[in-house]
């Protein structure tokens, strides 16, 4: 397994990162089966594991924490906070109050004294970045967190966070975790250039676009009952969701590219993400051992310019096929009350 430096931190991580979203109620509740996948991933050379407090309401962290006992010091362990963990309105977000509590909760579930990489899972439009960075800096200085990062942040907010850290004397974000795949290339427009400019690593998620690029979903094929679309079935994870017709059409063309390269679609798709110079590591999220085994070989595949040029002809650089896959939108785009003045306002 090849290694790359995570931005300018000096830490080396595997080109593939084991994502743990499928460990727990959302995927597999059998902790022993999950441990088998973790063991196989580590045996395959992966030294980087990514989870989040919200994955199966903490079950994922608990499974990962138990599985890593006795070898914790050999693993770069990442988790995230931000999403609601209860109905309490303050058990979410990126406030100091919640960050401190969320970190303690994650440390307990992960059965560890420190988190290597603690990430803000989503951009918090209601909290000052100074507040968030101040709390994260205290966690680093207390030894509970080694470094901090973001996930699915807008490029302009990444820049603002770098400036805030410099001016206020805070620890700065060392990496960003954007969605990136052949079907979701928006990060190429601004996030990747921003990461390179500030010496930040990029750890990309959903490289198979939620399952679309596994080749399992075809317009003329019945959906398997245990597939992600059948189990989750929301947003872009539906066979007839936004952009589905276009994706079905493009899959046929990508099949030809993969065949000419002597690869299956999964390997082509994962290798595509690893080909971008800004990408440090690609997160894979296998639910079964067979899925893991089908994805590990991609770390050793190098796509030549001819193959990458053909992919560019199918999906242009910087393009995202479906609006449902857009990484971040301000809440005012989704809520009309935030873009209209109240009656009687001056």
Tell me which residues are annotated as active site. Answer: 55
Which helix or strand (DSSP H or E) is residue 243 part of? none
- Are residues 72 and 112 in contact, defined by beta-carbon separation less than 8 angstroms? yes
Residue that has been written with the tokens 């070989």 in this structure? 297
Residue that has been written with the tokens 């989704």 in this structure? 334
Q: Which residues contact 346 (CB under 8 A, 6 or more apart)?
A: none
**Closest to 22 measured CA to CA, from 328, 276, 292, 326:** 292
Angle between helices 155-168 and 129-141 (to 10 degrees): 60
| Distance from C-alpha of 154 to C-alpha of 122, rounded to nearest angstrom | 10
Give SS3 for 304: coil
| Distance from C-alpha of 16 to C-alpha of 211, rounded to nearest angstrom | 17
**Closest to 291 measured CA to CA, from 75, 78, 16, 64:** 16
- Are residues 98 and 91 in contact, defined by beta-carbon separation less than 8 angstroms? yes
Q: What is the dihedral of CA 306, 309, 310, 312, to 10 degrees?
A: 160
Which helix or strand (DSSP H or E) is residue 178 part of? none
Terminal CA-CA length for the chain: 61
- Are residues 148 and 280 in contact, defined by beta-carbon separation less than 8 angstroms? no
């Amino acid at each position: 397994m090849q290694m790359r430096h995570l931005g300018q931190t000096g830490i080396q991580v595997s080109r593939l990162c084991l994502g743990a979203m499928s460990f727990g109620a959302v995927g597999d509740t059998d902790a022993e089966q999950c441990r088998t996948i973790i063991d196989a991933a580590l045996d395959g050379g992966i030294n980087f594991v990514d989870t989040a407090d919200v994955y199966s309401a903490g079950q994922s962290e608990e499974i990962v924490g138990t599985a890593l006992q006795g070898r914790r010091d050999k693993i770069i362990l990442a988790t995230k906070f931000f999403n609601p963990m209860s109905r309490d309105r303050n058990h979410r977000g990126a406030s100091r109050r919640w960050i401190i509590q969320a970190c303690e909760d994650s440390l307990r579930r992960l059965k560890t004294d420190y988190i290597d990489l603690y990430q803000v899972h989503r951009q918090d439009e209601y909290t000052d970045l100074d507040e968030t960075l101040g709390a994260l800096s205290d966690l680093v200085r207390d030894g509970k967190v080694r470094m901090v990062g973001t996930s699915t942040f807008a490029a302009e907010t990444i820049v603002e966070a770098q400036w805030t850290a410099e001016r206020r004397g805070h620890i700065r974000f060392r990496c960003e975790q954007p969605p990136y795949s052949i079907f979701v290339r928006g990060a190429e427009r601004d996030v990747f250039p921003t990461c390179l400019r500030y010496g930040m690593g990029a750890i990309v998620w959903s490289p198979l676009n939620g399952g679309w690029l596994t080749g399992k979903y075809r317009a003329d094929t019945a959906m398997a009952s245990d597939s992600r679309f059948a189990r989750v079935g929301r947003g872009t994870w539906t066979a007839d969701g936004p952009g589905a017709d276009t994706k079905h059409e493009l899959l046929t063309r990508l099949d030809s590219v993969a065949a000419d390269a002597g690869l299956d679609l999964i390997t082509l798709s994962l290798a595509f993400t690893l080909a971008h110079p800004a990408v440090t590591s690609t997160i894979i999220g296998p639910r079964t051992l067979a899925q893991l085994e089908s994805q590990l070989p991609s770390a050793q595949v190098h796509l030549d310019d001819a193959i990458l040029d053909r992919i560019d002809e199918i999906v242009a650089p910087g393009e995202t096929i479906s609006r449902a896959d857009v990484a971040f939108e301000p809440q005012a785009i989704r809520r009309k009350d935030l873009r209209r003045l109240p009656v009687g306002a001056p």
